[in-house]
């Protein structure tokens, strides 16, 4: 029997949503599965994204053989530039996934140095002692794979994100046959997606959305605006097909929507009917009943395309009474307030809102529900099981779901959280020592602004550049600002720079004057606009970047 240990090391995504990243170590060799990110909680002021702490990989840099990506969602690839800035390792993934990674690396001017290798479902490759087979799975994004990793101690299966869709729109079926073959031969460890474990039954097929979309196209008498995740290529294809069928032209709004559709079309994953596309600047020029607009920004992000449309501040689209807006997406936990606020603005425009659960649905989940999770467990019949991707309550429930396999060879289930390790050797599996993990908060998306601790980041930021508090009083009834904004500054400029602060007040005033009454009533939007404009002004005048925390008082 081999005398080395196999270590399972979760770097992110266990006991939390997002930041999915997992390392496998055998002897002196390590492979990494995914490197994701998540968006910050509201209390993380000034932070744009959060990634896992890759210190463990940096400490063992000579052992890391490569990064393998299961699919192209941000919670699985968003941390790739930050990992590659610390470790120069090869990256493996399907063509579409790597194209999305390329876009991220290009933003950080890292694309030329990156070593990216395209793999296909069904392909096998060797990295050190690990032989990896890529297994096709269905999900809400195209070109997803699960991983069957053969190690000297046995086979480890990592499902990635998945659902078992029997009728995918691209007819690329989940490869259950290969999964079952591994199950017959014997699987040492299964790591399976737990996101929807608390949903009974089966997740609906992507095709279940078509009847509702068809209903919207047939019922809408004016402009139809549909918002969905830009990565939902299956959904976008159905919208394009229905638009051609109902004689409507389609315009895409939002940077991510334009980028992803361009990539998908160039790879032949998105088919655009002839004469269907419409330039954004032409949306308002053609008859309202002849246009459909697909917009990014489903989660109410303050400066996203849909948020700007909602407050009548988009240069290419403004809503009018009788228009219809459909939110073809789920509400990600934590975003409820921002989304409902945005929906209120849309309703004020006189547009009809379509959202939420209905039958037929306007959105279906991309994650497996309880019965599909059972199906995978029954096909694989692992000796050990580790639920992944989800909060602790979901991991725990998934572990309970596997208990029936005790009679079919399951020896033990381990509910791990990020940083807790599992060791498997010839004697069996046991919990190992915890490793250093955490969250890395990134300001402005720049690799130069990576910090390992939010408190240290703030203290360093304050010590170097100080802080600026623009204080704005807005009349609750009229929505207008009361008098000139006040600027409070500490550790940034002294009394000799009164003129600079006076100009800064004028900058904030101009931002307020150029905002619509509804924007003034939306604190989230106004804080972001003021922070952006003031940061640009102060950086230009002083080459410094103080911490800017707008305070809005309702009077």
Query: Per-domain residue ranges for the chain?
Result: 6-201+365-441, 206-354, 455-554
CATH code 3.40.50.2300 for 6-201+365-441: no
Which of 475, 516, 219, 474 minimizes the C-alpha distance to 345? 516
pLDDT (0 to 100) of residue 41: 63
pLDDT (0 to 100) of residue 117: 98
The answer to whether residue 443 scores a pLDDT higher than 90 is no
| Cis amide linkage into residue 360, ω under 30° from 0 | yes
- Work out the pLDDT band at 2, boundaries 50, 70, 90: low
Q: Given 3.40.640.10, 3.40.50.10710, 3.30.60.50, 3.40.50.2300, which CATH number is that of 206-354?
A: 3.40.50.10710
At residue 445's C-alpha, the angle toward residues 455 and 314, to 5°, is 120
Q: What is the C-alpha separation between 423 and 7, in angstroms, rounded?
A: 5
Between residues 477 and 175, the one the model is more confident about:
175
- Work out the pLDDT band at 249, boundaries 50, 70, 90: very high
β-partners of residue 553 are: 473
- Work out the pLDDT band at 302, boundaries 50, 70, 90: confident
Take residue 364 and report the two structure tokens written for it: 């279906």
Percent of the chain at pLDDT > 90 equals: 67
Q: Which residues are catalytic?
A: 193, 367
The pLDDT mean for the chain works out to 89
The residue count of the chain comes to: 555
The answer to whether residue 45 scores a pLDDT higher than 60 is no
Q: By mean pLDDT, which of 84-98, 123-137, 148-162, 527-541 is the weakest?
A: 527-541
- Work out the pLDDT band at 451, boundaries 50, 70, 90: very low
Contacts of 489 (CB under 8 A, 6+ apart): 466, 467, 468, 469, 501, 546
Percent of the chain at pLDDT > 70 equals: 92
Largest Cα separation within the chain, whole Å, is 79
Between residues 349 and 50, the one the model is more confident about:
349
Residue found under tokens 């707008």:
550
Residue 449 has phi, psi (to 5 degrees) of -105, 25
Q: Is the dihedral of CA 110, 111, 113, 118 positive or negative?
A: positive
455-554: what CATH class? alpha beta
The answer to whether residue 494 scores a pLDDT higher than 80 is no
The answer to whether residue 309 scores a pLDDT higher than 80 is yes
Residue found under tokens 């939306």:
522
């Amino acid at each position: 029997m081999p005398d080395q240990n196999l270590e399972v090391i979760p770097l992110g995504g266990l006991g939390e949503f997002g930041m999915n990243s997992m390392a496998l170590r055998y002897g002196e060799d390590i492979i990494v599965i995914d490197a994701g990110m998540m968006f910050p909680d509201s209390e993380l002021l000034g932070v744009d994204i959060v990634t896992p702490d890759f210190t463990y990989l940096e400490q063992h840099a000579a052992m890391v053989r490569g990064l393998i990506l299961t699919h192209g969602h941000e919670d699985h690839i968003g941390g790739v530039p930050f990992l590659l800035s610390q470790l120069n390792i090869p990256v493996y993934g399907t063509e579409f996934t790597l194209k999305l990674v390329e876009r991220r690396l290009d933003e950080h001017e890292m694309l030329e140095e990156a070593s990216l290798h395209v793999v296909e479902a069904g392909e096998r490759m060797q990295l050190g002692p690990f032989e990896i087979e890529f297994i096709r799975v269905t999900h809400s994004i195209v070109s997803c794979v699960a991983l069957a990793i053969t190690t000297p101690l046995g086979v480890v299966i990592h499902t990635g994100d998945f659902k078992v869709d029997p009728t995918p729109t691209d007819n690329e079926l989940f490869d259950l046959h290969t999964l079952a073959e591994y199950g017959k031969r014997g699987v040492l460890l299964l790591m399976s997606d737990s996101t929807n474990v608390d949903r009974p039954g089966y997740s609906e097929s992507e095709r279940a959305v078509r009847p509702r979309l068809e209903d919207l196209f047939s019922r809408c008498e004016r402009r139809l605006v549909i918002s969905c995740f830009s990565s939902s290529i299956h959904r976008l294809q159905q919208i394009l097909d229905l638009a051609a069928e109902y004689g409507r032209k389609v315009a895409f709004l939002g940077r991510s929507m334009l980028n992803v559709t361009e990539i998908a079309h160039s790879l032949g994953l998105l088919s655009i009917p002839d004469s269907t596309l419409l330039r954004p600047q032409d949306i308002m020029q053609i008859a309202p009943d002849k246009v459909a607009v697909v917009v990014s920004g489903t989660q109410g992000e303050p400066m996203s395309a849909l948020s700007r449309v909602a407050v009548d501040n988009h240069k290419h689209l403004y809503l009018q009474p009788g228009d219809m807006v459909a939110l073809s997406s789920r509400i990600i936990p934590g975003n409820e307030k921002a989304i409902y606020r945005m929906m209120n603005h849309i309703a004020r425009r006189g547009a009809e809102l379509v959202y939420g659960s209905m039958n037929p649905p306007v959105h279906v989940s991309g994650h497996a529900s309880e019965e599909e999770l059972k199906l995978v467990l029954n096909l694989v019949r692992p000796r050990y099981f580790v639920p992944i991707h989800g909060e602790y309550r979901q991991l725990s429930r998934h572990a309970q779901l596997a208990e029936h396999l005790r009679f079919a060879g399951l020896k033990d289930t381990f509910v791990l959280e990020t940083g807790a390790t599992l060791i498997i050797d010839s004697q069996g599996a046991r919990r190992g020592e915890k490793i250093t993990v955490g969250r890395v908060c990134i300001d402005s998306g720049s690799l130069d602004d990576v910090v390992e601790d939010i408190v240290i980041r703030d203290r360093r930021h304050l010590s170097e550049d100080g802080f600026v508090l623009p204080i704005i009083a807005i009349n609750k009834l009229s929505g207008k600002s009361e008098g000139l904004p006040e600027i409070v500054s500490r550790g940034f400029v002294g009394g000799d720079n009164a003129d600079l602060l006076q100009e800064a007040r004028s900058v904030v005033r101009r931002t307020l004057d150029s905002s619509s009454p509804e924007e003034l009533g939306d604190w989230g939007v106004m804080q972001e606009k003021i922070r952006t404009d003031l940061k640009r002004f102060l950086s230009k005048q002083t080459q410094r970047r103080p911490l800017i925390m707008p305070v809005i008082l309702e009077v």
